[in-house]
Amino acid sequence: MPTAYIALGSNLGDRHATLDAAVRRLRAEPGLRVAAVSRYYETAPVDCPPGAADYLNAAAAVETDRLPHDLLKLLLHIEQQFGRVRTGTNSPRTLDLDLLLYDDCVIDTPDLVVPHPRMHERAFVLVPLAELHGSVGRDAVHPVLGKTAHELLEPFLTSATGTLPRMYIEKRKASDELTGLCALVTGSTSGIGSCIASALEDRGAEVVRHGRRERIGSERFVSADLADPAACDRLAADAWATFDGLDVLVCNAGADTLTGDAAGWTFDQKLDALLAVDLKATMRLARDIGGRMKARGRGVILTVGWDQAETGMEGDSGQLFAAVKGAVTCFTRSLALTLAPEVRVNCLAPGWIRTAWGETASPAWQERVRRETPLGVWGLADDVAAAAAWLANPAAGYLTGQTIRVNGGAVRG
């Protein structure tokens, strides 16, 4: 796919949060892959009205299936979603997204000029852009001037009068809403599980992470092959002993049958793997740790299902995941009744979440995400993690036995 470079800026409201959210929005866009994002830089306003606040600026390298004018329309749409109001030239804005470069294209139309006509004059553009050196296998090269971002930046580095952007480090007060809670998150070395574990930690919880393979030097990490029932039992005992009790269990681990060598397995091989890890291990861990929680008098268990388990999806993968994740959903409801009132049990049912498979999904699948999701974008692992953190919070204390669909509003019947 073509490579484009985008400049991001904000000088209204919570600038750091706005840029974070804008990057997440780009990551969620079907047919667009964010290859790299620079650090954030703070810059005094240039050619702006008097009294304008300082900007935060960044740059992103993306690969996209959109043509330049379509990409520009997307960037303008995202600006509007973030409350951008155009009141005049260089007026303050919640979010500014500029298309700097698009491969080696040179475009000069009334509504789009590429390369951006002033990018080589702006240090606040060139500093973050130069940081993306080699991020997608090639430098950002100005096709008219024939220079890289580093070369365009050189005059600013040697100028005695120029002021370079300064790197911005956000200092935020850590959240304490889950302080005092201890959690085990299975399958938390990468992807959704890693995001859930981080989300719990960011809110003050202490977390034991789990993966199939051992990790050297990890203090709160337990390895276990969940396809082995004995390993499940050891994981439950070891994680419980780590904190002398657990307050939260997230049964996230699942067999990957979509990527790598497993993608070439037979239907029966994939079914055996999914049954062993996604279903049986979830049931075994949840029953073991759930029983301990109930005896102690408190706890939260989260399982992970699938939003299409009830309605189905065509093809082998649809049959496999609907059967296995549907069973997880039904088990969750029954376990919630068994463990109530001491322990709450809920199921997270993700929809089109941009995991490793989603990063490389074909254009047909990208279009399917746009078509089937009312919000028109991929979900991210962070979206599932935010829901998990909320369900783990005592503030969600009246929810149990529920299936929470994290799917951008998709309703299938």
Classified as helix, coil or strand, 264 is helix
With a pLDDT cut of 70, the percent of the chain lying above it is 96
**pLDDT given for residue 411 in this prediction:** 76
Higher pLDDT, 87 or 334: 334
**pLDDT given for residue 44 in this prediction:** 86
Active-site residue, 296 included: no
At residue 74 the predicted structure's pLDDT band, cuts being 50, 70 and 90, is very high
pLDDT greater than 60 at residue 314 = yes
125, 234: one domain = no
- The span from the CA of 71 to the CA of 32, in Å, is 9
Task: Decide if 412 is inside a domain.
Answer: no
**pLDDT given for residue 46 in this prediction:** 77
φ/ψ of residue 211, rounded to 5 = -150, 165
**pLDDT given for residue 161 in this prediction:** 61
- The residue from 15, 93, 203, 284 that is catalytic is 93
N- to C-terminal Cα separation, the chain: 34
Domain encompassing residue 29: 3-167
Active-site residue, 96 included: yes
Task: Decide if 385 is inside a domain.
Answer: yes
Phi-psi region for residue 231, left (φ > 0), alpha (ψ -120 to 50) or beta? Answer: alpha
Task: Decide if 172 is inside a domain.
Answer: no
Active-site residue, 84 included: yes
Task: Decide if 84 is inside a domain.
Answer: yes
Q: How many CB atoms lie within 10 A of CB 220?
A: 16
219, 368: one domain = yes
116, 243: one domain = no
Q: Which of 226, 341, 336, 234 is nearest to 287 (CA)?
A: 336
Q: What is the CATH number of the domain that holds 307?
A: 3.40.50.720
Q: What are the beta bridge partners of residue 41?
A: 57, 167
Task: Decide if 262 is inside a domain.
Answer: yes
254, 350: one domain = yes
- The residue from 20, 24, 54, 84 that is catalytic is 84
Task: Decide if 176 is inside a domain.
Answer: no
Task: Decide if 177 is inside a domain.
Answer: no
pLDDT in tens, 35-68: 999 999 998 887 777 767 899 999 999 999 999 9
148, 282: one domain = no
The predicted model gives 105-131 an average pLDDT of 94
Active-site residue, 93 included: yes
pLDDT in tens, 190-202: 999 999 999 999 9
199, 344: one domain = yes
- The residue from 33, 96, 203, 284 that is catalytic is 96
251, 395: one domain = yes
pLDDT greater than 80 at residue 274 = yes
Q: Alpha helix locations (H) across 107-228?
A: 123-131, 149-158, 191-202
Q: Give 353's DSSP letter.
A: B
- The residue from 15, 25, 27, 98 that is catalytic is 98
pLDDT in tens, 202-219: 999 999 999 998 776 667
Decide if 378 contacts 354 (C-beta within 8 A): yes
